[in-house]
A and B are shown apart, each in its own frame.
Chain A
């Protein structure tokens, strides 16, 4: 369980790092290393060059820009977990972080690393998708910004090109008083989720759903949104019967993996139950408790 040999690079600016990934043969970017180093130890990944972003100060930090929180890609999960700004403006992220790995891995793991590894059961890609966050990607060719939905392409796959580095993630905040809920099932607290669900809701007068976001992990190649359920509910009163029907129909069509951890049927079952619980929590927090569904 020892990695194959590689050369190690520690740039101190983004420009240096971009030069390295653009010119080196078979490079890999090292962020917190909590997934990559494990994969290197197994020799699933054998880069010739490792470009460590840890000493590039401009890549970490949380910045409030009006209604948007901009989070540097190298910001450690620990910093997010203990940030008052995150707890106040992105409470769903705060709740989800409790399920991200363990104390020892959150101390080192980064948000950018998690989004770029894009494990289908990871929480931070789910949170990015739930908020319709956008990601900023840089290369020597320039910068571009794309939505989390376009970035999180599939199983351990993102839209990051070989010469690009994920620089920051921008989260548009939901209005104060919005409701949120997060539920996840894992064999052991902090382990990879079998399935998880997040919900955020903004209610208007008469408990009319003005805004709704329902996101799942563990039931597809990457995190996914229940677009049809959202569309069916927006503009209507929060009705637990309608909601239940929409969730059951949409989740039934998902095709999660059938593996040693859980059957596809069981994952679908979890997805339905966890989604309903997450929405129930969100509705309660938004001030419109629903009948138990």
Chain B
């Protein structure tokens, strides 16, 4: 059961590592390259806390092995802030109190990053359906939905400006 060489591009930086094939993408991000923003919750694909973008599409990093993603482009929550400033979606989370303990937040942010990219004007129903894949045990979701809808409006305003 030998190690295998993989190269992953994470947030624009290439990382080459020798890893066990059984290492999940989530563990690769946290333990191999020290990006601990991605949180692993249930580790069996139910909670969505570990959501990252894999080649631009949201995926659960606990349900992918890093070896599968050799050559892939991964985007994590660390890529969202711009020049040390929270991006619009993150600011909306802060202003709407869309997090309490914060454990699910990186996954929520990555799921919504994809949603707002693909559907710039999502309905509340679409936001709620999409967030069905991410569990939050603190907020009751209302503030997260508010933050997402506010972010959609502010992103649209920023595009028009």
Contacts and interface: CB of A to CB of B under 8 A. Distances in A.
Contacts of A10: 67, 70
B45 A6 contact: no
B43 interface: yes
B59 A5 contact: no
A193 to B, nearest CB: 14
Looking at chain B, what size class is its interface with the partner chain?
A: 20 to 34
A42 interface: yes
B74 to A, nearest CB: 13
Interface in A5-63: 5-8, 10, 30, 33-34, 37-38, 40-42, 50, 52, 54
A104 B1 contact: no
Dominant SS at the A interface? loop
B20 interface: yes
Interface in B22-38: 22, 24, 27
Contacts of A5: 1, 20-22
Interface of A: 1-8, 10, 30, 33-34, 37-38, 40-42, 50, 52, 54, 78, 101-105, 107-108, 188-191
A50 B111 CA distance: 28
Given A50-B21, A189-B132, A104 B4 contact: no
A102 B63 CA distance: 13
A108 B21 contact: no
Contacts of B114: 103
A8 B65 CA distance: 10
B28 to A, nearest CB: 13
Contacts of B54: 107-108
Nearest to A52: B68
20 contacts: A1-B44, A2-B22, A2-B24, A3-B22, A5-B22, A6-B21, A6-B22, A8-B21, A8-B67, A8-B68, A38-B45, A41-B44, A41-B62, A102-B130, A104-B48, A104-B51, A104-B60, A107-B57, A108-B60, A108-B64
Contacts of A188: 132
A52 to B, nearest CB: 6
A103 B133 contact: yes
Contacts of A190: 129, 132-133
Contacts of B129: 189-190
